């Protein structure tokens, strides 16, 4: 077709191409937090309902390493400057012609010298001097799944301080394990200090036994490096599941609530045994083949009460001789989007348990919205949603002070929560978990004891000691008094069956 008179050639290129409209093999980036499908929910009133851009802060100039969101710059080549009507915004955009808001993996926390990673222990309580541990030679008991490539083969994950490889127990090819190999010590660390950190993390992890905590099996050495042998979770981490946007879909409430309940059960177990995780995030929550959630990575965890599990007198057990709560010294610990305001402030010593409560609520926000609704917990105009939360709690507390009886059930109103966090008991529970004042923040023990939470469907028992009574969630009246019952759930997206065939009986999505 020939050019019209006066029309010049134009070439346009953009990084904002979608796999739905191009031949690119690159998967689509996760969408903006509030892209939940209001249009499909109520098309008739769509013009009156808020859209994703209404609740998002302007983060265009933020650094991706600090915010946890990657920013792609637009690259365009245009032959002439011509006025065009504004194009319709794609669902992946926060606002028209603006940079995208991505869910970006946080493989490790804030840089080590700022308080996390291998140097984080300098900010925590003093480590034991005498660890009693059984150490093995890795290759005498385990072998790499791909023997030719060995330790240089494909890794399950890689971070600033370690990498994780798949291995099998010798003589048992079907027994798979995830082996976490730590990087060698830095010049700034003494051998003694370095080994204490490795052994502390291992002894804490080894002492934990709960359905929602990863099982740590063995401490080994290989090629002069330390290795933790752990339970293998074939479905990767929760970040990967959230990235697929499957959990954001309408009708996935049971999946979101069940995963959230599993997380809270695991954290409650840790706190009841004197251990705070201090780095709860999507990347540290693994998913098994039967869609169970497991907490992992105790690299910056803290024994805030009782005897350290690595000491001889503990007998390798956690929760021994618990009593006084030891506070953590000021300093940032964790991954920025998940860090509680009292930790960000770095002003005074803090109880690490409310930090875990805060981070767990942020995980639920990711499950509901697909990303966080504020970059960090700072009450400034730049972080509007968090600022609104703080102001809302201040007004609510003032009402309770003025009229205690009338306002005892008062809660702040946060617009994103009003529209998207349902049911009401979940919304109120999250608001209590996100109280800016750690002294007024709900404890995890009270979260799991909440009446609504106890009755929420869950496919995991609260502990290994619980009697198991499985319930088929597809049957009528199965929800009557669901407390104490274990439901059969599948939180994973349906697998592609190919050639357009529907899923077969017994397969996910049937």
Return the residue matching tokens 């799991």: 448
Query: Percentage helix, strand, coil, to 5, in the chain?
Result: 30, 10, 60
Q: Please report how the helices 253-272 and 352-369 are oriented relative to each other, as an axis angle in degrees rounded to 10.
A: 170
Q: Distance between CA atoms of 283 and 363, rounded to whole angstroms? A: 10
Catalytic residue (choose from 255, 279, 297, 388): 279
Among 296, 275, 160, smallest CA distance to 230 is for 296
Distance, CA of 152 to CA of 146 (rounded, Å): 10
Phi then psi for residue 104, to 5 deg, are: -110, 135
Closest CA to 40 of 245, 254, 251: 251
Tell the residue number behind the tokens 């098309």, with chain if given.
43
The DSSP output letter for 256 is: H
How many residues are there in the chain?
Answer: 510
* Cα–Cα distance for residue pair 234/249, rounded to 1 Å: 23
CA atoms of 163 and 32, how far apart (whole Å)? 30
Which residues fall within 8 angstroms of residue 493, CB to CB, at 6 or more apart?
241, 244, 246, 508, 509
Strand partners, 220: 136, 227
Rg, the chain, Cα only: 25
- The residue whose two tokens read 């506070």 is 327
User: Is the bond preceding 423 in cis, omega lying within 30 degrees of 0?
Assistant: yes
Q: Find the angle CA(245)-CA(268)-CA(276) to the nearest 5 degrees.
A: 90
Enter the tokens of residue 428: 């109120």
CA dihedral 414, 420, 425, 427 (to 10 degrees): -30
Among this protein's residues, is 42 annotated catalytic? no
Query: In this structure, how many other beta carbons lie within 10 angstroms of the beta carbon of residue 254?
Result: 16
Residue 43 annotated as part of some ligand binding site: no
Cα–Cα–Cα angle for 463, 465, 470, rounded to 5 degrees: 75
Which positions make up the binding site for ATP? 180
Catalytically active residues are 279
Which positions make up the binding site? 180
């Amino acid at each position: 077709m020939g050019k019209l008179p006066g029309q010049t050639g134009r070439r346009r290129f953009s990084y904002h191409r979608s796999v739905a409209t191009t031949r690119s093999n690159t998967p689509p980036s996760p969408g903006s937090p509030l892209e939940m499908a209001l249009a499909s929910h109520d098309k008739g009133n769509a013009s009156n309902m808020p859209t994703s851009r209404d609740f998002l802060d302007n983060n265009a100039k933020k650094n991706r390493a600090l915010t946890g969101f990657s920013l792609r710059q637009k690259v365009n080549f245009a032959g002439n400057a011509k006025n065009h009507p504004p194009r319709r915004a794609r669902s992946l955009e926060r606002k028209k012609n603006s940079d995208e808001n991505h869910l970006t993996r946080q493989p490790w926390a804030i840089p080590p010298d700022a308080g996390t990673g291998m140097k984080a222990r300098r900010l925590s309580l003093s480590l034991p001097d005498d660890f009693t541990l059984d150490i093995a030679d890795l290759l005498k008991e385990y072998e790499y799944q791909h023997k030719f490539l060995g330790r240089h083969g494909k890794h399950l994950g890689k971070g600033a301080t370690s990498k994780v490889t798949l291995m099998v127990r010798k003589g048992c090819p079907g027994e798979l394990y995830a082996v976490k190999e730590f990087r060698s010590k830095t010049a700034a660390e003494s051998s003694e200090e370095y080994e204490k950190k490795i052994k502390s993390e291992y002894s804490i992890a080894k002492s934990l036994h709960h359905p929602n905590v990863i099982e740590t099996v063995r401490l080994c050495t290989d090629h002069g490096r330390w290795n933790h042998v752990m339970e293998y979770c074939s479905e990767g981490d929760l970040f990967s599941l959230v990235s697929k946007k499957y959990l954001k879909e309408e009708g996935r409430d049971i999946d979101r609530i069940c995963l959230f309940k599993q997380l809270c059960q695991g954290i409650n177990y840790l706190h009841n045994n004197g251990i705070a995780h201090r780095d709860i995030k999507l990347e540290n929550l693994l998913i098994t083949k039967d869609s169970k959630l497991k907490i992992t990575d105790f690299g910056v965890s803290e024994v805030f009460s009782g005897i350290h599990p690595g000491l001889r007198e503990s007998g390798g057990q956690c929760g021994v001789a618990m009593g006084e709560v030891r506070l953590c010294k000021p300093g940032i610990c964790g991954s920025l989007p998940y860090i509680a305001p009292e930790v960000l402030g770095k002003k005074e010593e803090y109880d690490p348990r409310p930090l875990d409560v805060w981070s767990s609520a942020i995980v639920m926000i990711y499950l509901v919205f697909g990303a966080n609704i504020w970059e960090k917990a700072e009450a400034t105009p730049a972080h509007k949603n968090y600022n609104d939360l703080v102001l809302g709690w201040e007004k609510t507390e003032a009402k309770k002070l003025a009229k205690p009886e009338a306002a005892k059930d008062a809660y702040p109103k946060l617009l994103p929560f009003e529209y998207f966090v349902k049911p009401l008991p979940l919304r109120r529970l999250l608001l209590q978990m996100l109280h800016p004042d750690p002294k007024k923040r709900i404890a995890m023990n009270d979260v799991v004891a909440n009446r609504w939470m106890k009755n929420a469907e869950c496919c995991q028992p609260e502990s290994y000691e619980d009697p198991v009574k499985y319930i088929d969630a597809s049957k009528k009246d199965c929800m009557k008094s669901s407390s104490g019952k274990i439901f059969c759930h599948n939180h994973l997206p349906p697998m592609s069956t190919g050639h357009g065939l529907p899923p077969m009986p017994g397969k996910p999505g049937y």
